[in-house]
Amino acid sequence: MAQTFPYTYYACDCYDSNNTSSTKRASQLLQEAEEDERTFDPRSPRANYSLYPLEHLLYCEDCQQIRCPRCIIEETLNWYCPSCLFEVPSSVVKSDGNRCTRSCFSCPLCTSPMQTFSLDMTGESAPPFILECQYCRWSTLEIGIEFEKGQGIAAQLARIGNGGKHIPTNKERDKERERRKEIEGRKSRDLLSPSTESTNTDADRADGPPSHDDLFSNLTAFYKSQVDAQTPSNPFSSHDINFSSPSAYSRIMNLYSTTGSKKNKRNKPSAMREVASSLEGLTIHDPANDAAAIERIKKEGWGVTLSPAQKHAQINPNVRFVDELRPLATLLCTKRSKRCRSCRQILTKPESKITSTRYKIKLLALNHIPRLSIRALNAMPPAAVASRTADAFDYNALKPGMPSHFLLHISNPLFDPIKVTLATPSTTPGRVQSRVTILCPQFDVGANTDIWDDALSSSLSPIKRGSITDQAPQIEAGKIWDRGRNWTSVAVEIVPGFTNAVSSDGRDELEEDEDVLEIPIFVRIEYETDAGADERGLGDSRGSKGEKERREEAFWTVVGVGRIKG
C-alpha cells in the first residue's frame, strides 16, 4: 500500500492451514470449507497478516511450500550489540538482560544514539563524563548524572540514580533492610507497638517515597522469608533430598537420636501473613504524592511530561516527568536461524561472525516462486518512455471508467519450464469495483537456464519472440504479449471502478486506501522436474534419469496497480 506502485504481494496460506490445534470451532470449520471457493480479499483485516513481499518469504524444499515469518521457528545463534558490534555470550544475556552492558545508549527522548563526552575544558578526556544525544542535545546533565570514567557507562549508570544519588545494589539493599529491621525490632522490644510505627514513618520521611525497585526487592525478601518459614522440613518430604545440606544432615541425625524426636515437635504453622511495614513492601496510599504531581503539571505544563511512547521505552514505565528519564541501553540484536515449522528443516542459517552478512543456508522463495509484476502498457517502447518522464504513466491517478492495458510479467527462477494458470475475479472485491480481464490466463514460461544457453540457442531457433517474431505485439485474447528466455508477459485489461459512486452512495466517504486498486490473482504453476533434484543440488537438472516428477504449486498474489483518482 505505501509501497510505490505497482507492487506485488504474495499470500502465505499458513493462516488457514495452521489451525492444527484442537480448538476448531464448528463455525470455523464451516468457514474453512467455504474458503476454497472464496477468492482472496486483500481488504479483509486478516489479509494484512498473510501478505508479504516476495523478498520476505522463504521456501521449504521438503514441504514444497512458501514459508512466511508465521510458519517458521526461529533459533537464536548469537547475540550482539548493534551499536558496538560486540558479541555477547549467552550467559551474560541470561544474567544481565537483553541490553548492551558497555557504553551504548540511546536517547530517552528521541531514541537516537548517545555519545560520551568529557566535560573537562582543558584536557582531552578527563572526568567528569556525560552522555549526550547528538540529535536533540539531551544529556545526562539534565537528570544530574555525571560519570567518573569514560568506559563502562552501563555499570556506572546502574549505581547512580537521577540527581547523583547512589542506587544500592541488591546486596546493599538486603543489608540495609536487615539493619533497619534490627533497629525496629530492638525498639519494639523496648517499647510498645505505637512507637515502632512512629519511628518507621520517620525513617520513611527521610528518604522520600521508596522507589519501584526498592519496593519490589522488599516484597521479594518478604515473600521469600514467608515461604521459607512455611516450607515443612519434615523428613521424607519430596523437597530437598539433599544430603550435603546441613538441615538434611541434622534431620538424619535426629532420626537416630531418641531424645530429639519428641522435643522437636513443631507447633502448627501459622498462616502466611501480610506485609506490615514499608520494609516489607507496604505502601499506604499518600494523597500528598498526587497533589505534588498535579501542582507540578499546573506550574510547568506540557513540557515536563512524557509522551506514552517515551514512557513505554523506559525500563521502569511508571514515570511521569522529564527528570525521571534514564538513558536507554541499546537492545541487543540476534542472529537467528530459521526452521520450517512442520518439518523442522533449516531454511536460513547466517554465518556466526557478527560482522558478516552472509548466510550458510538460505532457501528463499525468490529462487522457487515465479515473480509476478505488473506495469502499464505504453504504446511507446520503454526507452522512449524513460527519456520523456512527463509522459510516464502516473500510477497514482488511474482514471475511473477508462479501460487501460497493463502488462503482467511472470519470470521463472526454476530450472524447468513451467506452465502457468492465472485466475482472478472479474471484479475486484471491496466497494470500489474494478473490472479485470486477463487476456491470456494460460501460458508457458521457459526455464531459467544458463544465460549462455539462451544466447546460443536464440541464434539457432527463433523461440526468442515466440510466435510473434517481427511485427509489434498485439493485444489479443488468448495470446501472450511477449516472451523471453525465462519470462512471459501477458496483457491485462483493467477498468478502474468509480470512487465517487461509493461516496455519493449515501454512505460515508472513502476510507484509507480504499481507492487503491488491488487485484487478487490466483497463480498455479505446473512443472516436471527430476525426482531427486533436491538432493543433488539445483544446478544439476541435466542429469535426466527419466524419473521425472510432476509438481504443482498454487498461491494467491495481490497486485497493487495504482490509486484511482477521479
Partner 1 sequence: MSASGERKVSASLGRSVRGAAPRLADLASTPEAPRTPTLGRSVSSLFGSPGGSFRTDDDYVVIEVGSRFVRAGFPGESTPRCTLAYDPDNQRRVGDYRQWDPQGAQKRQNPRKGQEWGQEYELYRMDLSQIDLGVVEDKFERIMREVYNKYFVLDTKPRRILLALPPKMPHPLMSTLLDVLFGSVQAPSITLMSSPVLSTVAAGLRSALVVDIGWAETLVTAVCEYREVHEERTVRAGKLLSEEMAKVLNAALDEHAGYHEGDDISFEEVEEVLSRVGWCKSKPRSNRRTLYFPARTSPILEEFEDAVETPEPTITIPLPKATPPSEITVPFATLAKPAEYALFATETALNEFDDDELPLHHLIYRALLSLPMDVRRVCMSRIVITGGVSALPGLKSRILAELEALVHAKGWDAVRNYGTASARHEQILRQKREALELQRQESEDKMTESLDPDSPLPAGLRAHEEDNIDAKLAHVALRNGPPPVSLTGGIVRGVETLGPWAGASLVAQQRIRGIVEIDRERYLQHGLQGASKEKEVSVVAQRQSMGPNVVRGAGERASWTLGVWA
How near is the Cβ of 319 to partner 1 at its closest, in Å? 10
Q: Of the listed pieces 107-115, 235-243, 408-416, 447-455, which binds partner 1 according to CB under 8 A? A: 235-243
Single out the residue of 116, 199, 334, 442 in contact with partner 1 (rule: CB under 8 A).
334
Task: State CA 491 to chain mean position distance.
Answer: 38
Single out the residue of 82, 136, 207, 216 in contact with partner 1 (rule: CB under 8 A).
216
3-state class of 434 per DSSP? coil
Establish if 122 lies at the interface with partner 1 (CB under 8 A).
no
How near is the Cβ of 7 to partner 1 at its closest, in Å? 8
Establish if 229 lies at the interface with partner 1 (CB under 8 A).
yes
Per DSSP bridges, beta strands 359-362 and 346-350 are: antiparallel
Single out the residue of 38, 273, 399, 536 in contact with partner 1 (rule: CB under 8 A).
273
Single out the residue of 21, 122, 469, 471 in contact with partner 1 (rule: CB under 8 A).
21
Task: State CA 458 to chain mean position distance.
Answer: 47
SS (H, E, C) 9-63: EEECCHHHHCCCCCCCCHHHHHHHHHHCCCCCCCCCCCHHHHEECHHHCEEECCC
Single out the residue of 89, 97, 152, 403 in contact with partner 1 (rule: CB under 8 A).
97
Single out the residue of 231, 261, 396, 500 in contact with partner 1 (rule: CB under 8 A).
231
Establish if 315 lies at the interface with partner 1 (CB under 8 A).
yes
Single out the residue of 259, 270, 355, 474 in contact with partner 1 (rule: CB under 8 A).
270
Asked if residues 480 and 466 have their Cβ atoms less than 8 Å apart, the reply is: yes
Establish if 17 lies at the interface with partner 1 (CB under 8 A).
no
Half-sphere exposure of 243 (CA within 13 A, CB side): 2
C-alpha cell at 16: 488457514
Instruction: Find the distance separating the first CA and the last CA of the chain, reported in whole Å.
Output: 19
Strand partners, 88: 79
Single out the residue of 64, 90, 115, 367 in contact with partner 1 (rule: CB under 8 A).
90
Q: Residue 12's closest CA among 434, 445, 342, 334?
A: 342
Q: Residue 541's closest CA among 459, 461, 448?
A: 448
Single out the residue of 4, 122, 193, 467 in contact with partner 1 (rule: CB under 8 A).
193
Single out the residue of 112, 115, 247, 261 in contact with partner 1 (rule: CB under 8 A).
247
Burial class (CB in 10 A: 0-12, 13-18, 19+), 105: buried
Cβ nearer to partner 1, comparing 199 with 449: 199
Quick note: the x/- pattern for partner 1 over 146-175, rule CB under 8 A, is -----------------------xxx-xx-
How near is the Cβ of 197 to partner 1 at its closest, in Å? 7
How near is the Cβ of 437 to partner 1 at its closest, in Å? 26
Q: Of the listed pieces 94-102, 159-167, 382-390, 531-539, which binds partner 1 according to CB under 8 A? A: 94-102
Whether the CA torsion 44, 524, 10, 521 is positive or negative: it is negative
Of residues 48-67, those binding partner 1 (CB under 8 A): 48-49, 51-53, 56
C-alpha cell at 559: 497486485
